Structure 1
């Protein structure tokens, strides 16, 4: 699944789903996760949950350029819904920008992001 709506000739959000195990997928999110695009991520995660046979969804946010409160809320709600249906949703990779934002608003722990370290420059791996 690859989702790339055009906004003035360039994609604002790209979502790619890759199967990484018999019941595990990684969802890579690139671009801007905000009010205008959060519904695309909600739809992608909902489709995975509705399809069934997935017990773990990894989120790769390395390519995230921007995230607003709607995007953050989408991640938090997705984590809660996944937990309710017995699917583990976890961050597998986060760039320094996204890690900082998630930490500032206080959702880093609930999304499984490890504590930030001063020497973290580009990527925080969560496995």
Structure 2
């Protein structure tokens, strides 16, 4: 069996041509977005979680683990999630932030986001979550 030229939707086997799903050709080259998370202590047993990259369904479990450990294991009084370096967030990422906030409040803690970039801010605003998830003293920039 030999592969057809790159981009061809067919794989050849002897004299037979077999139609191949376009995704099967892409699967072996798939690159999942990277997510970088750092944790810094703040005064009064609070924690800052800095997130960089894209928050997607492929990597959101890592963010959930860090946030839950901060709340459950460290017993942080508050968790600040700095999104200034997040370039994209999908619905699973947004769902995990909302769930983490509820988890924090259920454990006598609090969780909020700070510094969302323009793309993240726009999505959260459209969903009505920007003010709900933002720190109490944070306000979105006024539009001109």
TM-score computed with the length of structure 1 as normaliser: 0.79
What aligned pairs does 1:1-127 form with structure 2 within 5 A after superposition?
8=31, 12-112=34-134, 114-119=139-144
Q: Secondary structure at the match of 1:109?
A: helix
Runs of 4+ in 1 over 2 A off after TM superposition: 112-116
Q: Secondary structure at the match of 1:45?
A: helix
Task: Give the number of the structure with larger relative contact order, counting CA–CA contacts within 8 Å between residues 6 or more apart.
Answer: 1
Q: Which residues of structure 1 form unaligned runs of 5+?
A: 1-6, 120-127
Find the structure with the greater CA-based Rg. 2
Q: Secondary structure at the match of 2:115?
A: strand
Deviation for aligned residue 1:11:
6.3
Preserved CA contact (<8 Å) 1:99 1:116: no
TM-score computed with the length of structure 2 as normaliser: 0.70
Preserved CA contact (<8 Å) 2:44 2:77: no
Alpha-carbon displacement from aligned partner over 1:105-125 (angstroms, at most 9, x marks no partner) = 221122026344215xxxxxx
Alpha-carbon displacement from aligned partner over 1:50-107 (angstroms, at most 9, x marks no partner) = 2134101101000001100001101111111111111111223221221111001221
Corresponding pairs, count: 112
